[in-house]
Chains A and B, each alone.
Chain A
Amino acid sequence: MKRERFKSILLILLFVVSLSLTQRLWFDLPFGEVISLSNNKNIKEIDVDVTDILSPQSFTVSFGGGDHTVFFSEPYEVWNITKADQKKEVWIWETAKLVLRDYLKDDYDIEEIDEDEWKKIKKFKSIKLDFACEVPGNSLISLLSGKDSNMSKIKDKVNTILIPATEEERANVYLGNSEVNRYLKLTGSNMNEEIKGLIENIYEVGERKGYISYYTIEDIFAVENDVLTPVFDEIDIRSSIKNVNELDLLGEDSYADEKGLLSIKSYSTRNQIDVSNNVYIRSKAQQFFGESFDFVKEITEVDGTIIYMYGYGDKALKINRNGTLEYIEKTNKENSQAKLDFLDSLKYASKFVTDKGDWPVNKENAYLYDYEVTEENNEKSYVFYFAYRLHGLPVHIPDEDKNRGIEVKVTGEQVTYYQRIVRVAGQQLDNKETIIPSINTVWEKNSTSIKSNYLRENQLEGDKIEDFKISEKIRNIQLCYFLYQDKLIPVWEITIDNIVYYFDLYNGENYTSYPKD
């Protein structure tokens, strides 16, 4: 009898334990559907500041008098300034955000200006912020001003903001879209002198630490083109007038090397994710599957690719041997039907990346590179592409097309796809060549192929080759790091007509070229 009672009690206890364990499982799987904890938040619960990620790709500082420089990351990154107070003095995006917030929260008038007026205003003392892609104007204004995006008077897409620092322009801010050549002048309340102070600080620090001077294509090639290009071949006139030893021409952490020549170093590099490190890979996978990791299947393929799968492909994580991480999640009908706008989707994407391993280097060195909007089966999706910088320059991995590092697809209130290909910089490498030549060297080596490409793309006859100058067709010039044979090589990224070229910064050799999107 006692034995029977003991068995009954044991049975009841086992029954209760199995019920409670099942109930815990059902907390994550109501009605049998799979939703990750971190992917199941309502938009109102996501409190993320996306101004860091929706930040400019480059900053053009015009000191006035035809003197320009361009930074492809914040100046404090380039100059290796770590002290908070010194960092703040040259922090361009942070200063610009504060100034724009105060300016945009008040009333302002909008007037469209022509390209000639835009070109004129760029020559004055100013800061120009260039975004990597066209951003919805109402979203950008909403983000900067804190007002509702529906209240914004600016509906067009924007990819550049210019904030003048002259007395005559104190009440004006300029927005533009260089892709469609449309420019707007905002006239509102007078701005304080923070931008002017910022430019003066950058100038002073630049005097000590060095900066690269930029001139227009027109200044160098005598063609009508105001695209800026760096001029590395330089001489400090003071060294000719005074004894070099009397001058501190090289400040600490200067752009110049020990010979006083402008220098941008190459670096060795490796994948951020090492697929052979099992402990690291498993901990990475746990970030994606959370508490349901125990129910995940692990598959290792012949080529070393590791796949983690939950359910019947409801969630899958794949890490291949070159360090590419891919995560796919089946759409959840309830969450995917929500119609979020650009900013809300960006918040989802930003939160997801932060939760799943954070940004390469840090959030300040990442930025929105491009985005797409798609709609399928009444499901609206945003696909965001993020780029990142290493040692002050953006990183370009060839054959990855738009993906400069991180790709996130947000469908409604759910992240349904995530891809990450991130490289980490290693040792600094010595360059074979020590002098960075001017852009003429690039032309000397590549003018024939560039012209041929132009004729082919535009379906022109071969005899037209003498009829134009390549320099007229330049649309953009910037510097970046190019991944080549496991090294990060500094290159010219030059957009000529509709083709983007990558030329070695030191010897002008062409690594590759792509049609521009």
Chain B
Amino acid sequence: MLRKIITGTLVLIMLSTSSVVVYAGPLNGQNIDSELKIENEKKEEKIEIISPQINPNEDVIAEKNLLISIKVIGESKVTLNLYKILDDSEELELLSEEIEPNDELETNYAKNIKNIEPGKYKMVFKKDGKKKLKNIEFNVKKTKEVVNKEIKDSLPELLDLSITDLLLGE
């Protein structure tokens, strides 16, 4: 009787131990990945472009100088490269800067780009200088260019008007 009790207890212990090993052993790959992914998401760099202000047409108005003001939240350094896109689609690097993230500051980086010419430009943000985080293209236009375009756009197409339209003022 005593032997049976001892045997039964031993079997119980062995079974419960093995089940713990099965169900509470090292994590499977999927679990590890999702946890790391969550970690990665938490530390994902966030880039806010305060200036220049790019309108929905991807235009930026700049008479002569352009201010670049960036806020970076995260843990890794971010590299900013500014390129001018030339007529033949070639990219000319104008600026390469490292920006340290700092959640406490309202802005981390401010630089005045002097004597900027009208044309297409691109800002490329990379994490630790390697992984691309963000790509922003914009067109720099001067004030007069924008005003002239607005005037031109607001002029009615005379060819589309018939003589009665003109007479009736429509």
Interface residues of A (CB under 8 A from B): 63-67, 213, 215, 219-223, 231, 233-238, 240-241, 438-440, 443-444, 447, 469-471
Contacts and interface: CB of A to CB of B under 8 A. Distances in A.
B78 interface: no
A221 B107 contact: yes
Interface string B95-119: 1000000101111111111111100
B62 A66 contact: yes
B114 A236 contact: yes
A59 to B, nearest CB: 19
A220 B107 contact: yes
Given A219-B67, A469-B106, A231 B111 contact: yes
Given A231-B111, A237-B114, A67 B106 contact: no
30 contacts: A63-B63, A65-B62, A66-B63, A67-B65, A219-B67, A220-B50, A220-B51, A220-B69, A220-B107, A222-B48, A222-B50, A222-B106, A231-B67, A231-B111, A233-B111, A234-B111, A234-B113, A234-B114, A235-B111, A235-B112, A235-B114, A237-B115, A237-B117, A241-B84, A438-B110, A440-B108, A440-B110, A444-B102, A444-B105, A470-B106
A-B interface, 5 closest residue pairs, ranked by CB to CB distance from nearest: A65-B63, A234-B112, A222-B50, A240-B94, A231-B112
Given A215-B67, A237-B94, A237-B116, A221 B111 contact: no
Contacts of B7: none
Interface residues of B, number: 33
Interface in B142-169: 142-143
Interface string B65-97: 101010100000000000010000000111100
A145 B95 CA distance: 51
A469 B92 CA distance: 37
Contacts, number: 97
Nearest to A203: B64
A11 B112 CA distance: 88
B115 A238 contact: yes
A238 B113 CA distance: 10
Contacts of B65: 67, 213, 234
A240 B63 contact: no
Contacts of A471: 106
Contacts of B102: 444
Contact of A65 (B51, B64, B69, B107): B64
Nearest to B109: A440
A240 B142 contact: no
A221 B143 contact: no
Contact of B114 (A64, A213, A440): A213
Given A215-B112, A235-B95, 7 more contacts: A65-B142, A221-B106, A235-B112, A237-B113, A237-B117, A443-B106, A469-B106
A67 B48 contact: no
Contacts of A222: 48, 50, 69, 71, 106-107
A397 B25 CA distance: 72
B93 A240 contact: yes
A447 B61 CA distance: 32
A64 B107 CA distance: 25
A219 B94 contact: no
A238 B95 CA distance: 12
Q: Which of B67, B108, B109, B110 has the most CB of A within 10 A?
A: B110
Nearest to B114: A236
A223 B67 contact: no
Contacts of A439: 110
Given A240-B92, A440-B105, A63 B64 contact: yes
A218 to B, nearest CB: 9
B110 A241 contact: no
